[in-house]
A and B are shown apart, each in its own frame.
Chain A
Amino acid sequence: MRTAAPHVGAGHAPAPTARSSWPVELDRVCVTYPNGTRALRDVSLRVEPGEMVAVVGLSGSGKSTLIRTVNGLVPATSGTVRVGPHQVTALRGRALREVRGHVGMIFQGFNLAERVDVLHNVLVGRFAHTPAWRSLLGRPSAADRELALRALDSVGMLEKVWTRAGSLSGGQKQRVAIARALTQEPGVMLADEPVASLDPPTAHAVMADLRRINAEQGLTVVVNIHLMDLARQYTTRMIGLRAGEVVYDGPAPDATDADFEQIYGRPVQPRDVLGAGA
């Protein structure tokens, strides 16, 4: 295995520890969008607590839909999704928001409020756990504030706490987004193409951050990725999706090029690997 990129700002405080790590279980899940697109076809899988899983596939293969069914951002058309003790597919409204409060998510586009400072972006992670008046006024309790600051420290962004998110670089934004998810004290961490908008060294650093969180806290991590080398290097298990169906499920580090060709449904191309960072 290639040496990993150095952890950016190594030697931080440990991230806030998860209360407990959750399994994720999909049972015969189908998703059909209103426009008729069948994004997931009869997907069943189980992710054990503390696993670090890559979901691999071309764009349009259903990766994003799969990850969004886990926190109910995309409702399953049929089948059941279980996260920890909750059956997500049976929940709505307040109960669904409560579960989402324990499922961290990071995005390809970072999805920060650009004109808001880093601290208040990270405090978004406490919304589901805080009285509405506090979060709407932006007046966190001392405990929430401490959680946010510790999460920022663990990704090396503490000194940027008063900076507007819009003036950060891409890598810094993604680390703030990771801190936002960690502040939720999540049972599962979902990542939807977290490094697709980053340059190679920064991409390696962010993947290393995710792996460190997985290793240090035993937090379940499910990460969507389309690059072969990142999946092999940073994750332990790989689920391959093609046209909404699971076509591969096995250990990630020794997945061969042939396995990837089977998932992609075409020969491997240079753009399927990121290359060495750092």
Chain B
Amino acid sequence: MSAATVTSPRVDPPVTRTALPPRPSRLWPTLWALVVGAVVLAAAAGLSITWDELPALPGKVAGYLRLMFADPSWDKLPRALLETWRSISMAWTGAILCVVASLPLGLLAARGVGPAWLRLGLRACFAVLRAVPEVVLALVLLTVTGLTPLTGALALGIAGIGTQARWVYEAVESVQEGASQAVRAAGGTAAHVTRWAIWPAISPTVLSFALYRFEINIRTSAVLGLVGAGGIGSMLSNYTNFRQWDTVGMLLIVVVAATMLMDTVSGAIRRRIMEGARVRDVGRGA
């Protein structure tokens, strides 16, 4: 508009007001904003925060970061790598336990495979398992199996079943009906349908979810170490208690690097599985 006024002496057309459609009521969004605001304030008030210490906090954090990462101590690296390996073993064993248990349970819990009473019962169990965090389960198992990586693997294996089995039955229920109907029409049993119609359709998805479970377990296994289940998490917890910050810094670097490495490798394999499955479907010849 400014360009028009500079280059030409033309008079601007008279301003006419466009009739605006009535604006929707702002009442409910405003009310919700007030409610959310009140909840935030109530939550903060319940924490009894000492606000006057807050300005000093960034300086403290920076101090500890300097202690940890300015000159991390690499003396304990071999031990750290060994403990990392134990964590990965824990994660892997837990993932296998979880997948092996959740596959038949998930299949039975799928609509059209198992009977209704079994389906509902299993789904209720999965829901309960999903509500229990791995750490809580590990604390309970500690009393039985003691301070060993086996405790961690068991905790990971059992706690994961809730989610893993749910993924399995959701995958089964999203399978196209056609092949199952053909097997039934040829006189096949429920076992035949599961083996030759459902399993071929879900196997890439299930395999991909199994690797995903491994990735989740790698991250969770470090946390389980904090409660004494062994592995890199236990070492981290110990050296934090000893206040040997240079070693803690080294351990944190190892944990982050190992987790990212395993994530990348497993993620790449997972992508390969899913894409392989898709490419072969698309590439149908004449």
Contact = CB atoms under 8 A, between A and B. Distances in A.
Contact of A120 (B185, B196, B281, B286): B196
Given A124-B196, A169-B285, A97 B188 contact: yes
Contact of B188 (A71, A102, A127): A127
B156 interface: no
A200 interface: no
Contacts of A273: none
A127 B186 contact: yes
A112 interface: yes
Contacts of A132: 189, 191-192
Interface of B is mostly: helix
B284 A100 contact: no
Nearest to B187: A128
B184 interface: yes
B182 A124 contact: yes
A100 B197 contact: no
Interface in A89-118: 97-105, 107, 109-116
B116 to A, nearest CB: 15
Which interface class (under 10, 10 to 19, 20 to 34, 35 or more) fits A? 35 or more
A101 B200 contact: no
B201 A114 contact: yes
A184 interface: yes
A115 B277 contact: yes
A112 B281 contact: no
B148 interface: no
A127 B181 contact: no
A135 B192 CA distance: 8
Interface in A48-64: none
Interface stretch (A160-168, A209-217, A225-233, A248-256): A160-168
Contact of B185 (A105, A164, A166): A105
Interface residues of B, number: 27
B200 A100 contact: no
B203 interface: yes
B273 interface: no
Contacts of B277: 115
Nearest to A120: B196
Interface string B260-286: 000000000000000001001101111
Central interface residue in A99, A104, A113, by most chain B CB within 10 Å: A113
B280 A97 contact: no
Contact of A113 (B185, B201, B285): B201
Given A127-B188, A128-B188, A132-B189, A169 B284 contact: yes
Given A132-B191, A136-B195, A167-B284, A113 B179 contact: yes
Nearest to B180: A111
Given A73-B181, A167-B280, A113 B186 contact: no
A168 B285 CA distance: 6
Given A73-B181, A109-B178, A180-B182, A115 B201 contact: yes
A113 B45 CA distance: 60
Interface of A: 71, 73, 97-105, 107, 109-116, 120, 124-125, 127-129, 132, 135-136, 164, 166-169, 177, 180-181, 184
Interface of B: 178-179, 181-189, 191-192, 195-197, 200-201, 203-204, 277, 280-281, 283-286
24 contacts: A71-B185, A97-B188, A97-B189, A100-B186, A103-B185, A104-B186, A105-B185, A111-B181, A112-B179, A113-B196, A115-B201, A115-B203, A115-B277, A124-B183, A124-B186, A124-B192, A127-B187, A128-B186, A128-B188, A132-B189, A135-B192, A169-B284, A169-B285, A184-B186
Closest 5 CB pairs of A and B: A128-B187, A101-B187, A111-B178, A100-B187, A111-B182
